[in-house]
Structure 1
């Protein structure tokens, strides 16, 4: 386990650390870090350093070092600073990979090709992610928050590869991916909101609020069903008890009748009964 991964999050002056895993995540964070540190650093990494030049009789050539001015030294220093930041942001394996590069742009591009691939590989990844995006649906029993996390992972991966969707496209895709029981809510949003200007985060908030309401109603309905089931069970139990009482009562009445018949027989024929005993 690399301890730098845990340490870098504790300081805004420490660059995001890259250990060879999750390049897209690191790349996005590194871009923001460099831009916040000095936007010229990011410009140099994207476009390469501006080497000091001079023009003599219409011919442009590199300046000899003894003719450098303060601005020339600053531009060269920015390239070294950008290289230093990149070196501090990578582990030993990546350091060895980029250590022979002369400019920060070469270092950045080498990492990009290594982990994103060539244009052909990149297009293949984009095609796969676009297919995943187009087939994206909310899973059964999945929360809006979890669904949105999966969705943004796909969208961000595409964005890192240069494939972008407009806010309107993302909003419509989210609405299309919802299950059938969300249809009334989707219809309400489409009728009440202008989807071309509806912010994605506002849509998310609206869906999460509706989800909470739905869960609350489901909870109430579940309690009602349990109460009805319990009441029915009690009534059935009481009914069974009543049936048992009626059955016992009927059996007892039959018993009394049978005993009464025996007593009448004894009263009418007492001598015969005694002689039969003898």
Structure 2
């Protein structure tokens, strides 16, 4: 299941652990640790989805704020998704990258990899 070569790769504080399609559960846990170490906000973008600035003071707070109206704080929070996408995709082999290349958010990438390598909730229960 796991190759010694795969497990023999050294850890790095600046580079995420590589994933080539083997030992997904091991890679997943290592990646969660890496993302958390980078920033809790980056990890949150992966788990909960990207931050979307919305217009305050409206009855429907789900109206996206135009980019021209974003504050610096909004820009920083939106950037966590881009950072998370970069971290995850930089760890993927070409085959794994092309599996998720159409995903728009870090959460979509993460969920696609999880479903591909772990299966759906129903598969896991069985």
Please report the TM-score for the alignment, with normalisation by the length of structure 1.
0.41
Equivalent residue of 1:76, what SS? helix
Equivalent residue of 1:55, what SS? coil
- Please give the alpha-carbon distance, in whole angstroms, between the structure 1 residues aligned to 2:29 and 2:7: 18
User: Residue 64 in 1 paired to residue 66 in 2?
Assistant: yes
Superposed displacement of residue 41, structure 1 = 0.8
Residue in structure 1 matching 2:120, options 113, 118, 123: 118
Q: 1:57 to 1:75 in 2, by over 3 A?
A: closer
Q: Which has the higher contact order (CA 8 A, sep 6+)?
A: 2
Question: Partner residue of 1:97?
Answer: 99
* Aligned 1:167-206 pairs, distance under 5 A: none
Q: Deviations over 1:22-73 (max 9, x none)?
A: 1001011111111011111111100001100003542321001110110110
Equivalent residue of 1:112, what SS? helix
Higher helix share: 1
Give unpaired runs (5+ residues) of structure 1. 125-278
- Please give the alpha-carbon distance, in whole angstroms, between the structure 1 residues aligned to 2:121 and 2:7: 33
- Please give the alpha-carbon distance, in whole angstroms, between the structure 2 residues aligned to 1:72 and 1:57: 18
Please report the TM-score for the alignment, with normalisation by the length of structure 2.
0.88
User: Residue 79 in 1 paired to residue 95 in 2?
Assistant: no
Equivalent residue of 2:56, what SS? strand
Q: 1:7 to 1:79 in 2, by over 3 A?
A: farther
Aligned length: 121
Superposed displacement of residue 5, structure 1 = 5.1
Equivalent residue of 2:79, what SS? helix
Equivalent residue of 1:50, what SS? coil
Equivalent residue of 1:81, what SS? helix
CA RMSD of aligned residues (A): 1.9
Q: 1:114 to 1:11 in 2, by over 3 A?
A: same
- Please give the alpha-carbon distance, in whole angstroms, between the structure 1 residues aligned to 2:59 and 2:84: 32
